[in-house]
Structure 1
Amino acid sequence: MFELIQRIPEPWRQLTDLLIAPLAWIPRMQHTLWDFFFAPGPWWLVAAKFLFLLFPALLVVAAVWCTQLSIYTLPFRSGRVQFIPTMMLTWWDAVRAVWLYWVGMFRFIGVALGWAVTFSTFVAKLVLEVIRQIVLMPFTMTGRMTETYFRPGVPWVAFVMLVFWCVLEAAIFSYTLMPTVTELLADLVGGDSTARFTGAILYFFLLLLVMGSFACVQTLMDAVRKREWKFIVQMVVVELFV
């Protein structure tokens, strides 16, 4: 704009300077604001400037342009006496809007910080509770198992004898079936070497099979006692296969 003024002939230049005097300082103000906002600095300072001052600065620039341009309309306005107080009230509203914006931003930051502190406290308590539960889990499980095992009315002698019989029966069947299983695996593999854990795996599956058969017998007895014919038929079929 100043380069354009320099091209105006000298007799008209003073008049032009006088006419654009209300607007001549606004571009310099905008350039100053631009340098202020985009000046290098710490990230928190730049963020604070953009967060708290950018929108008020834009409002001020727009208000200044509107106010200065309205000066040229004063000679042609019929209600110029009421226009000036109205413009002053508009500036007051702009200042009030900036103040409310700052108050709202501070309230927002306060709420965000409070939420962050509350959430951090919740996460810390959750982590501590998880650690406490993990540390106390063996003791809790031991206490529950002890409470269950030593509850009155449980036939512990019969239960221990049943478990011992299952272990013994599984061992006998494993010893009996081990040559057959070894020969079968040798035929499948194509050599004399068998798997290293064949005996343990065979014993484990036979133990599950024996314990499952006794569980089926107990279920069959309960079904007969309650006359539940559907479960009786199911358990008989299962026992036949077992």
Structure 2
Amino acid sequence: MQNSEIIARMLDAAAAHVPFDGWSHAAFVASAKDAGIAPAMARAALPRGAVDLALAYHEAGDRAMLDRIEAEDMGEMRFTDRVKSAVRWRIEAGDREMVRRGSTLFALPQHAADGTRAIWGTADRIWTALGDTSDDYNWYTKRATLSGVYGSTVLYWLGDDSLENAATWEFLDRRIDDVMQIEKLKAKANDSKIASALMAGPMKILSYVRAPAGQAEMPGRWTKE
């Protein structure tokens, strides 16, 4: 049995346990048992147990979002609306209680880095799917900004009891609009001779920053080209 099949079966089984036990060892063991996976096989596929299973759940949500992006006709959408839609589809791909339990897990100091990488990876997948080709410091600023938007919107969604999550989507609209205002200010600063002169030094340094080569990891590359 392939690791992908083991993980898929365990994620299906986890839906009955994680809402009650969290992404815990108990939930991991119970999920393996319900899925008919031997403990040794479960550990081989997911060496860190429940943590790796929670990360696999996040990855599955990313894949569902990418499938939705590919299936939808976004050609007539403004780019801002494409970003909003992608974030919304990513949130809709998750079960609220399982995501809530994941937020609790990745809030722990020993797992915070895993959670940060997962959110960063989601932001990177969104930008890549929407055609981002930046290869300089903008690669980082776009993903850092969208990571903040996505993370804050998820937290809002976890506490949202409005009809069909209307309040969450309004919150998302405001966050994306705020980001676009920042981009407009950056564009104005670039057009300003005074601002351009003041930023000449910092921009020279930033010109050496390059996006990672073929991966979504940080910190990327520093060049002297």
Same fold (TM over 0.5): no
Compare the two structures and name the one with the higher helix fraction.
1
Structure number with greater CO (CA < 8 Å, separation at least 6) is 2
Work out which of the two has the higher radius of gyration on C-alpha atoms and give 1 or 2. Answer: 1
